């Protein structure tokens, strides 16, 4: 055999060994990962992962959006007592200090549990929500504070019945740290 023929056979042999070895490594990795269970985060866990100290929502609209996500968890999801307490804590971080001061923590949690139980007993779920467009967020000054007003329309379903809409008007106030905090909200009646 000629020298170039031997080199060609050696090169082809090395390439084939590399391909087979690469494929074997690929299969080994695939088998290792497929043996592990992939656990997806629940909606509650996803909401609770948000670190408000590091990434507080920057706009009134984003604050109300996070509020709506927590609210959906309250009424739609299953969670432990510890997760309920964490959700309540997260939503209160969005509230203005004056709003939080209106109730003791014990009264707040009792009222929250009663409201959640009533919604679940009547089989209400929040199927979605729509926030005011950014251009519809009204900013204004009141008593020396920057405030904002916007609307959120919740789509609510009761059991297998159709969906109804509930529009709420939110008022937010900027705190000393420059964070928009929910000062209050009202149901909008037509």
pLDDT, tens digit, for every residue of 38-58? 567 888 999 899 999 999 999
Residue 61 pLDDT grade (very low, low, confident, very high; cuts 50, 70, 90): very high
Class level of CATH domain 43-187: alpha beta
pLDDT, tens digit, for every residue of 137-166? 999 999 999 999 999 999 999 888 888 999
Q: How far apart are CA 130 and CA 43, in angstroms?
A: 18
Question: What is the percent of the chain with per-residue pLDDT over 90, rounded to a whole number?
Answer: 67
**Domain residue spans of the chain:** 43-187
**Residue 154, H or E segment:** strand 145-158
- Calculate mean pLDDT across residues 165-183: 95
Q: What is the pLDDT of residue 3?
A: 61
Inter-residue contact 172 to 182 (CB < 8 Å): yes
Statement: residue 2 has pLDDT above 90? no
**Residue 165, H or E segment:** strand 163-174
Q: What is the pLDDT of residue 77?
A: 92
Average pLDDT in the chain = 87
Tokens of 31: 């088998």
Statement: residue 96 has pLDDT above 90? yes
Q: What is the pLDDT of residue 132?
A: 86
Q: What is the pTM assigned to this prediction?
A: 0.77
- Calculate mean pLDDT across residues 19-25: 64
């Amino acid at each position: 055999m000629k020298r170039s023929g031997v080199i060609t056979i050696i090169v082809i042999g090395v390439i084939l060994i590399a391909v087979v070895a690469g494929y074997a490594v690929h299969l080994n990795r695939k088998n290792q990962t497929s043996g592990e269970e992939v656990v997806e985060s629940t909606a509650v866990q996803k909401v609770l992962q948000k670190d408000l100290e590091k990434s507080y929502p920057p706009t009134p609209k984003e604050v109300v959006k996070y509020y709506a996500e927590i609210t959906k968890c309250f009424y739609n999801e299953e969670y432990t007592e510890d997760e309920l307490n964490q959700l309540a804590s997260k939503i209160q971080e969005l509230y203005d200090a004056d709003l939080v001061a209106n109730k003791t923590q014990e009264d707040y949690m009792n009222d929250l549990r009663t409201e959640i139980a009533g919604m679940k007993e009547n089989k209400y779920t929040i199927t979605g929500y729509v926030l005011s467009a950014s251009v519809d967020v009204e900013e204004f000054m009141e008593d020396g504070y920057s405030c904002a007003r916007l609307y959120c329309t919740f789509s609510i379903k009761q059991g297998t019945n159709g969906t109804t809409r509930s529009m709420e008007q939110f008022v937010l106030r900027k705190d000393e740290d420059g964070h928009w905090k929910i000062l209050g909200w009202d149901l909008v009646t037509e």
